[in-house]
Every structure is written in structure tokens, then in C-alpha cells.
Amino acid sequence: MNLLNKLVKKENISSIFLIFLIFVLDRFSKIKILKDFGENSILINDFLNFNLIWNSGIGFGLLSFNSNLIYHTISIIIGLVVSLLFFIAYKSNTYEKIVYSIIIGGALGNLYDRVFYNAVPDFIDLHYGNFHWFTFNIADIFITIGIFAFLMKNFLIKTENEKD
């Protein structure tokens, strides 16, 4: 089977669509927050606020530095990891393609922001009383879901071969 036939297989097209859908959902949410709310906090209820912050680090604001060299190095590494995930997803079975596609869709959303805004807009603020979780965005939700599904499959769910 040639490369073109492999690329247009149903599960590969479905994966590309899922990546695109997640990317669009993430972009839409960020554009909506930036355009309609900007720097204003929006109190939704006692546990949820929308509060825009600009994250120059990686997930949940980790590794935030004021150095352009470190920022761009981290961005390049993220880009390389996303490229590697594309290759791994292409070679994977259907379940893994879905999991990797969820991660890739979210990662592309945040990578887009890193390239065009030099930071990622995070705005979902979950809290209880004075305890606030890290502020995050839609892309982060999908990345977390994908990683959780990957971990569940690989570490908690026994395959038929492992049961014997």
C-alpha cells in the first residue's frame, strides 16, 4: 500500500478531523475570551471564574522564565514533540490514534499561541474558597484527557496477553 493510500485511511482522516476540531474549539474559546472579556475577570459561580492570564511557561505555568532564549528553546522542543506525536499516531492502532490526536489537537492550540502571541492565554480558574487550581484553557483540558487516557490504557488496563 503506497503512502497516499495509507494517509487517506478512514482512521487517519478521522484523526486529522479530531485534531482540527480540538484546535478550532481551543482557538474559538481563546478568541472569545480575548475579544469579549480581555483582562476583566468573570465570576461564573463559587468554584469557577474566567480570569485571563498570559502563560509563557509550559503546562500550568511551569518553567516560566523571562528569558527569550529559554522561551524559544521550550517552544522548539514542544514543536518537535508534537511532530513526533504525529509520527507515532500515524503508526498506532485506532485507539492510540484517537488518544494521540486529542493530545496533538490541544498541543497545536497552545503552540499556535506560543508562536503568534509569545505566550498562551489561560483563563479557566477553578477554585474552592481561597484555594485556586492552576489557571488553564481548553487545549490544556484536551491534553490532560489524552494523557490520562494514554496512562489508563498503558498502565491500568490489562491487555489480553498480560492476563495470561
Residue 65 in contact with residue 98, Cβ under 8 Å? Answer: no
Measured distance CA(53)–CA(51) in Å, rounded: 7
C-alpha cell at 21: 476540531
Residue 113 annotated as catalytic: no
Nearest to 101 by CA among 143, 138, 154: 143
Residue 46 annotated as catalytic: no
Q: Which of 26, 113, 125, 140 is catalytic?
A: 140
Q: Which of 26, 113, 122, 125 is catalytic?
A: 122
* Residue 164, helix vs strand vs coil: coil
Task: Just list the catalytic residues.
Answer: 122, 140
